[in-house]
Amino acid sequence: MLPPLEIPTIDISPLLDSSSTVIRRQEVAIALLNAFTTFGVFYITSPTHPVFSTKKKDQILDATTRLFALDNSHKAKIPKIQPGGFTRGYVPIGGESGSTTKELKEGFSYGYEWPPNELEAKAQEDGGLNGLQGPNAWPEQETLNHLDQGQKDAFKETLQEFYLSVCEVAKGLLKGISLALALPEDELSKYCTTSETISFMRLFHYLPYADQQHSSQIGSSAHTDWGFLTLILSPCKTVGLQLFHDNAWQDVPSVENTLVVNGGDYLSLLTGGKLISPLHRVVSNGKEERYSMCCFYYPDYDAKIPLLVQDEARGQAASGSYSLLRDQRSEEDKDVSSKDQNGGGQDARSIATKLLNGEVNFGDYIVSKWTQVFRKGGAY
């Protein structure tokens, strides 16, 4: 048995408080740099911010549990996620995988709730909606009424509010990361002006499975996250999230009043690999269910961010291990479309170069990635 990893918990309050001193923000930046360069995964907290409160955790866990406890007659009516990059709605069991292994999880994916008429107005504007913008796919009203029955807080509003608060926390983190890279505090925020409208939250329900080799079934296949930052509320005591560190899979346990942060591939690539985008997976202990709420925070769709760290030579990033640059299509799909247009067959290094040179923008490339992990079928 390995001793538990000493993954730090960082109090990011100074990044969320505009009246904090530069010195305090710099202290947080140093802690972030340390955690990002050692593990790529760490916990964040802020004692007075509601998103880290036990009350908020209970509220979100309760809403999530109720959603996945719906009977199939209700579940079947929630629109399912569709191929094409834009991910909103119900993720059926087996409906996505980052590998050839079946992932025993169901999910619900939602994001920015456009004020009435705004989405339509945006669609009419020059340029219109990008490939990651669109309406949420909420359960129908009858199901929402059922979910709200006997509850103090409405399901939909609870989830919307949670998404926006996690995005606020991500914005604070951007400042700390900029400082950690010895850049002006607002450097990364410049590339994240419309992030809320394309980032999204995924509620997951992992089912127990017996195969403790995790070879025929898994919760989430070994992968790195593609984007900038992933912020995870991990409310269950049962272990599931694991980090590949020191050549072994090691548990990332749930810690009360924190969110787990994972660095993403794009952020790592932009720092020449200095900030780690960690390899991780989700497994089952064979007995218990697990729930998690993961916010995938992206930079702007049209972001073409240059290398942020000048003292790191280009090409040093671990581009071969980034899921972002790996072909994750099913074997069947690879066979069918060998003349793939979406970058699936391209060499990782050439995609990395294109992203860094601004030949490809972040959004267009990410849309093609979502197509790779979509799997036909899926069950309730």
Ligand X SMILES: O=C(O)CCC(=O)C(=O)O
Of the pair 196, 225, the CB lying nearest Fe ion is at 225
Q: 334 — phi, psi (to 5°)?
A: -65, -40
Q: How far is the CB of 282 from ligand X (least distance, A)?
A: 5
By a kind-dependent CB cut-off of 5 to 8 A, residue 234 interacts, out of ligand X, Fe ion, none, with ligand X
Q: How far is the CB of 232 from ligand X (least distance, A)?
A: 5
By a kind-dependent CB cut-off of 5 to 8 A, residue 323 interacts, out of ligand X, Fe ion, none, with none
Phi-psi region of 358 (alpha: psi -120 to 50; beta: other; left: phi over 0): left
Q: How far is the CB of 161 from Fe ion (least distance, A)?
A: 24
- Which positions lie near ligand X, rule CB under 6 A? 204, 220, 225, 232, 234, 241, 280, 282, 292, 294
Of the pair 13, 250, the CB lying nearest ligand X is at 250
303, 191 contact by CB (below 8 A): yes
Q: How far is the CB of 280 from Fe ion (least distance, A)?
A: 6
By a kind-dependent CB cut-off of 5 to 8 A, residue 241 interacts, out of Fe ion, ligand X, none, with ligand X
Helix (H) or strand (E) holding 140: none
Of the pair 132, 241, the CB lying nearest ligand X is at 241
User: Residue type at 112?
Assistant: Y
Sign of the torsion formed by the C-alpha atoms of 286, 288, 289 and 295: negative
Q: How far is the CB of 266 from ligand X (least distance, A)?
A: 14
Of the pair 13, 220, the CB lying nearest Fe ion is at 220
Q: How far is the CB of 294 from ligand X (least distance, A)?
A: 5
Of the pair 113, 225, the CB lying nearest Fe ion is at 225
By a kind-dependent CB cut-off of 5 to 8 A, residue 297 interacts, out of ligand X, Fe ion, none, with none
d(CA 370, CA 349): 20
d(CA 333, CA 372): 9
Of the pair 38, 238, the CB lying nearest ligand X is at 238
By a kind-dependent CB cut-off of 5 to 8 A, residue 321 interacts, out of Fe ion, ligand X, none, with none
DSSP class of residue 208?
P
d(CA 249, CA 170): 27
By a kind-dependent CB cut-off of 5 to 8 A, residue 224 interacts, out of ligand X, Fe ion, none, with none
Residue listed under structure tokens 């979100």: 60
Q: In the numeric block, which tokens belong to residue 374?
A: 């979509």
Helix (H) or strand (E) holding 43: strand 41-45
By a kind-dependent CB cut-off of 5 to 8 A, residue 204 interacts, out of ligand X, Fe ion, none, with ligand X
d(CA 167, CA 200): 9
Of the pair 42, 114, the CB lying nearest ligand X is at 42
Pairing of strands 105-111, 200-206: antiparallel
